[in-house]
Structure 1
Amino acid sequence: MNLNAQIVASKQISLTTYRKDGTPVPTPVWYVMDGDTMTVVTGATSAKVKRIRNNPRVDIAACDVRGNVKPRAEHVAGTAHLLDETQTSNARALLAKRYIASRVGNWFARALHLKRDPMIGIAITF
């Protein structure tokens, strides 16, 4: 599927996951496109990961850094699945290429030997 130009041009997207009762929970996230798949990386213990394990249905829309979605923004439905360690590592490398803040954060973590929470990749197909 071809995502609309508004989504592809956006630096972040609003990723909406769903609680067991169906309540939507939007979260602004960075992403990269890898072919027709959108990939996101997040903390392995985050609530969005738990929600995806229970229900892989997600929606995305272009948003600003605070997660504000424009009133007429297109929302696109997708299916999420969690990536393994190697795939997550590859996704993190792709994110670091796209976002300088990711590169800087990774550099400081290595330089200062900071212990970081485990990360997990999320692949979204449409």
Structure 2
Amino acid sequence: MLGRMTDSADLGPEDRKIITLARSARARNGVPEGAAVRDETGRTYVAGTVDLDSLKLSALRTAVAMAVASGAESLEAAAVVSAAGTLPAADLAAVGDLGGTGTPVLLAGPDGSLRESVTAKAGSAGA
């Protein structure tokens, strides 16, 4: 994972927006994670963790699936708000599959503060 960044001041307004959307989804739905992705046209897709008996998806994989189902062809960026300290490889792979290598993935804490920014790697699943 390259491109680590942990200073929220370095974020542009569009990246701050997807963190805010992810944080809102987490709080509104009372789920462990909230996520938002921004596609190549600037549209955003927001999701929370899915935890059903027959279907379990992280918030980020759910947001990526929503983007794909809505016709997105690529991703510009993704954000996750979680108490977790790292992102699973499968989440980064999902972003990489749609956004390509180098798509920034922002991980923020429940308070919205940026913990780290990593880059997705296409095809790096393993989960």
TM-score of the pair, normalised by structure 1: 0.31
Tell me which of the two structures has the higher relative contact order, counting C-alpha pairs closer than 8 angstroms and 6 or more residues apart. Answer: 1
**Larger of the two Rg values belongs to structure:** 1
